[in-house]
Amino acid sequence: MLEALALAAATFNPPIGVPLAYVSREDRVIGGRALHFESRRRITFTREHDGFLATIRFEHAANDADGDVAAMFQAAMASLVDRPIVLHLDAAGTVTAVDDADATWRALCDAIAGLPGNDSQRAHAARFAAALRNLPAAQRAAMLGSLVAPLVAGDDAMLAPGSTQPISIRARPPLPRGTTLAGKQTVTRAADGRLALHASAHGDAPAPGAAARVAADRDRVIDPATGLVMATHDHMAATIGGDPVTADTRVTLAPVS
């Protein structure tokens, strides 16, 4: 057991005190309409005992969607600008605690609840904010912790180039939460020594009002020296009731230029 713990710890070795630009972008095409969401953050890792601290600072968020959901996204992101989120990680990169999680969550909910608009829009925002406030404390902390989880490669940093693994890929909205597809993943070594992982899966899945035919791909670039996922591209293409839906999510991590 001790050997397994030591091996897990060795896979995570982020650069200490080096600010990294952390950018997420999602592009969806639903019913012929393109929607774009983007957030820009800065993350810095420091040592803490046998683990690490990850400090995330939101810098910018934007979207070109209309409606209540877009407004709530913008309000939530704006509430986090200039409010550092500090996460405590163990030696393997797993989040163990979040500083001031209650205050951060309260600011996010207050921003959504205070959105302007007509009676219907304000009521919608109030209901959504209330639902977020009522989430259990553990779930709120887990959602804040998910800001770091996609960046930690874990055991994937030790995969052998040329290997293939079975994998389960989570489908993106508008498919129901929890929908997964079974597929396979292949691993290659890039010229710079990083690992390139490509996963592909397809199949049928339930969808609101109709069955969906879904194809999903995920590409990740892992730096085995640090145990960080430096780039991720998730692509989903689905046909729901005859209507095509695509979703692309990209996450990049790079030294601040």
Closest CA to 61 of 87, 28, 30, 26: 26
Average pLDDT, the chain: 84
According to the model, what pLDDT value does residue 4 have?
A: 42
Query: Which of the four pLDDT bands, split at 50, 70 and 90, describes residue 6?
Result: very low
Q: What percent of the chain has pLDDT over 70?
A: 84
* pLDDT over 70 (residue 70): no
- Residue 169 pLDDT: 86
Q: What is residue 118's predicted lDDT score, i.e. its pLDDT? A: 73
Which of the four pLDDT bands, split at 50, 70 and 90, describes residue 156? very high
Q: Concatenated DSSP letters for 16-44?
A: BS--EEEEEEEEEEETTEEEEEEEEEEEE
Give the residue, 186 or 103, on which the prediction is more confident. Answer: 186
The three-point CA angle 144-57-41 to 5° equals 90
Strands, sheet with 180-189, edge to edge from the N-terminal-most edge strand: 95-98, 85-89, 51-63, 33-48, 20-30, 243-255, 228-240, 210-223, 195-207, 180-189, 164-170
Average pLDDT on 237-242 reads 76
C-alpha 190: how far from chain center = 24
pLDDT exceeds 60 at position 98: yes
Delimit the domains of the chain by residue range: 1-150, 153-257
User: How many angstroms separate the CA atoms of 78 and 73, rounded?
Assistant: 9
pLDDT at 207: 63
- Per-residue model confidence (pLDDT) at position 176: 66
pLDDT above 90 coverage of the chain, percent: 40
**Residue 98 in contact with residue 83, Cβ under 8 Å?**
no
Of 246 and 86, which is predicted with more confidence? 86
Alpha helices in 53-100 (DSSP H): 68-80
Task: Rounding to the nearest 10 degrees, give the CA dihedral for residues 71, 28, 25, 137.
Answer: 60
* Measured distance CA(60)–CA(166) in Å, rounded: 37
